[in-house]
Structure 1
Amino acid sequence: MTDTIIKLTAAQTAEKIASGELTAVEVTEAHLARIEAVDEKVHAFLHVDREGALAQARAVDEKRARGEKLGPLAGVPLALKDIFTTEGVPTTVGSKILEGWIPPYDATVTRKLKAADVVILGKTN
């Protein structure tokens, strides 16, 4: 099932989550498992925010369960380039100078993605 989930387009994923065919948590877990399986070889991620991503996914599922309006990409997982600040998540812009910096705010794009109910998996190189 994981292979099937990770091959869905963003539109297909959002549709399946909105319909209840898949949960945002299932989708997030599938993508996190794929990252865990291959990132040691490809080194795409500078930081994987497993707990944060699962919390965002649970929030989407709870919102859907309450019948609230979902964002157009609700539950769709995204890897955010490390140039965009993300509150509480290490942001280095790929530089050793910023190693260990955890911003106290979100960039505009990060804030808008979160408002659209996108699940941010982590930061990419």
Structure 2
Amino acid sequence: MLWKKSVAELVSLIKRKEIKPEELLQSFYERFLKTEEKVKAYITPLYDQALEEAKRLETREDMPLAGIPIAIKDNINIKGYPTTCASKILQGYVSPYDATVIERLRRAGALVVGKTNMDEFAMGSSTEYSAYFPTKNPWDLQRVPGGSSGGSAVAVAVGSAPLS
């Protein structure tokens, strides 16, 4: 049950070569498949792309997050992928650049597994007011997860990403 381990434990497993980044990613992808339909944490899943990156990743000591999956809130730009800020106004917008935080996460070896749901333009506190769908609290589907980063919180809570 890798998805229940802390990021520090996962980093240690990778550095000791007890697990490959693609095996770790597969564990979190299986959790995504098992939970996402109920909770709706992601606007844009990117596991296929992350798996390709994981296969090419050569871990080094200067990469503190080497092979660690991370979910990114949908108001942060990732080159070549949609950034909607959970709003129909931005539907169809594809970022021409990576946000600085994405550049730094990639240099650290993190693998982006998707863009998470949020309140539209981060203006809310429940993640009910996304233009696409509300995110559900995984502990009680009749409740909200909070927000505006509810998709990120739920992704970590259900184990589809250890970090967001």
Q: Normalising by structure 1, report the TM-score.
A: 0.88
Gaps of 5+ in 2: 118-164
Aligned residue for 1:120?
112
CA distance in 1, matches of 2:10, 2:95: 30
Of residues 24, 27, 32 in structure 1, which corresponds to 2:29? Answer: 32
In terms of fraction of residues, the more helix-rich structure is 1
Aligned residue for 1:98?
90
Of residues 55, 58, 64 in structure 2, which corresponds to 1:58? Answer: 55
CA distance in 2, matches of 1:81, 1:28: 19
Are residue 110 (structure 1) and residue 98 (structure 2) matched?
no
Cα-to-partner distance string for 1:88-121 (whole Å, 9 max, x where unaligned): 1221111111112211110011111011000110
CA distance in 2, matches of 1:35, 1:10: 17
Amino acid at match of 1:25: E
Q: How many residues align?
A: 117
Percent identity between the aligned chains? 36
Cα-to-partner distance string for 1:77-97 (whole Å, 9 max, x where unaligned): 111111100011221111111
Q: Does the 8 A contact of 1:49 with 1:122 survive in 2?
A: yes
CA distance in 2, matches of 1:42, 1:48: 13
1:72-83 matches, cutoff 5 A: 72-83=64-75
Aligned residue for 2:16?
19
Q: CA RMSD in A?
A: 1.2
Determine helix, strand or coil for the equivalent of 2:11. Answer: helix
Determine helix, strand or coil for the equivalent of 1:87. Answer: coil
Determine helix, strand or coil for the equivalent of 1:56. Answer: helix
Runs of 4+ deviating beyond 4 Å = none
Give 1:70 shift: 4.7
Give the structure with higher Rg (CA): 2
Q: Normalising by structure 2, report the TM-score.
A: 0.68
